[in-house]
Amino acid sequence: MAEKPDYGIDAPTVVRNLFLAAVACVVLAMIFPKVTVDKITFLLNPGLFYTAVWLTAPAILMLHYSKAGKFRHRDRMLAKIAWTGAESVLDVGTGRGLLLIGAAKKLTVGHATGIDVWSTVDLSGNSPEALLKNIAIEGVEAKTDVRSEDARKMSFPDGSFDVVLTNACIHNIHPGEGRRQACREIARVLRPGGVAVISDFQHMHAYARELRKAGLTVEMGSPGWLTTFPPLRILVAQKAERARYS
């Protein structure tokens, strides 16, 4: 059987902590079970039990997104581009390569580059080695390359890419000025006429403001309440043919 790529679990520490907190609540509900409400005695402490349920639900939704939902979300992001196959693509915060590899499969003579700082807090097993393994399994080595770079200070010249992609990455940059700087860098490395597709669940309006300041035209969709967790928006920003830099 052919080896399958592994794109990891998003925010693994958050998922783990939610499950651990839920288990702790169940244990406490069993230790302190005898609660009487309106002459009804509960075998489990209802407050602690319902807290456990509320903690478990988002953990399960986050796991579902990591194992299934993010593949559909990737496809929605990539569908925002009118691909010719000749694009030069940058994936910011590439992680284990879900967007990078998806974009590479759209290319014929084009090329896709992924950058990351490889935080395992944001994605389980996040490393250049894990990414390169997925690239090899998916058979897109010839159309991709990988760099260890910070989104706030990219080494690429102005106007290097036709397409810039990033998903659930920029919100991890602190403080806010760092996020604004990352948006300015995305605008800078995008070619005139190029398109950036950005998805996140926080700070999206701030990203839009920064990109508009850089002269890009921005359209933003609604949160994906039924398709992603946390609910992710998709922002599409296009640089004018004659671009200006702030």
* pLDDT score recorded for residue 245: 47
CA-to-CA distance for 134 and 128, rounded, in angstroms? 10
CA-to-CA distance for 65 and 69, rounded, in angstroms? 4
Question: Residue 10 phi/psi, 5° resolution?
Answer: -75, 145
Task: Give the predicted TM-score (pTM) of the model.
Answer: 0.91
Within 8 A by CB and 6+ apart from 92, the residues are: 115, 151, 164, 165, 166, 169, 170, 182, 186
Strand partners, 123: 10
Encode pLDDT of 95-112 as tens digits.
999 999 999 999 999 999
What is the C-alpha R_g of the chain? 21
Q: What does the DSSP 8-state code read for residue 121? A: T
Cα 96–Cα 203–Cα 75 angle in degrees, nearest 5 = 40
From the number of C-beta atoms within 10 Å of its C-beta (0-12, 13-18, 19+), residue 192 rates as middle
* pLDDT score recorded for residue 38: 64
CA-to-CA distance for 47 and 148, rounded, in angstroms? 47
pLDDT band of residue 127 (cuts 50, 70, 90) is very high
Q: For 23-32, what is the mean pLDDT?
A: 86
Indicate the CATH number for domain 80-239.
Answer: 3.40.50.150
Encode pLDDT of 219-235 as tens digits.
999 999 999 999 999 99
CA-to-CA distance for 151 and 210, rounded, in angstroms? 15
CA-to-CA distance for 127 and 231, rounded, in angstroms? 26
Encode pLDDT of 30-85 as tens digits.
887 666 666 666 667 778 888 999 999 999 999 999 999 999 999 999 999 999 99
Helix/strand/coil for 118: coil
Beta strands in the chain (DSSP E): 35-37, 40-42, 88-92, 111-116, 144-148, 161-167, 190-200, 216-220, 233-239
Residues of the chain with CATH 3.40.50.150: 80-239
Helix/strand/coil for 55: helix
